[in-house]
Amino acid sequence: MTRYQEYPSNENGTGLRIGIAVARFNQDICDGLLSGAINELHLLGVAAEDITVCSVPGALEIPLVLQSLADSEESPYDALIALGAVVRGETYHFEVVSNDSCRAVMEVQLATGVPIANGILTTENDDQALVRMHGKGADCARCAVEMARLHASIRLGDKPQPARG
């Protein structure tokens, strides 16, 4: 078997600055997402003073705030988290908001080079969102920390290590 090189996973959040954009639409669900994310960030070692939360009206407003945070020179962020909830209704609006918010979050990430964990839930109903909110918030926290560390390692020219196994 050919051996390959890899960057090991690193979920140590110590010293990282994390920005979070969270929507207020579907407030209870978004509060659960935020709670899950912040609790997990603390468990990973991110200090409270290194977490910035920006509240926005809805999912479509999240990408602009993420871009502002990513472009901030005074307080550079190592990673960002997008949190929101889009619950299917009776109109086509669900597809528009779901697709456009996701696309715009990805565009901000690629344009700025700042890793973004996308935690904008898209569900059929409130019950699905309520079941997923805390777990998804925590998943996004782990993703943000891991991607911040990986992105920094690659940019700094750190060498990958021999693969395990």
Residues belonging to the active site: 93
CA quadruple 98, 146, 139, 39: dihedral sign:
negative
Angle subtended at Cα 146 by Cα 143 and Cα 152, rounded to the nearest 5 degrees: 130
Q: In this structure, what are the phi and psi dihedrals at residue 81, rounded to the nearest 5 degrees?
A: -130, 130
For residues 158 and 165, give the distance between their C-alpha atoms in angstroms, rounded to a whole number: 21
Q: Which residues pair with 22 in a beta bridge?
A: 55, 83
Closest alpha carbon to 58 in 99, 23, 105, 10 = 23
What angle in degrees, to the nearest 10, is found between the helix axes of 27-43 and 126-155? Answer: 40
For residues 35 and 71, give the distance between their C-alpha atoms in angstroms, rounded to a whole number: 25
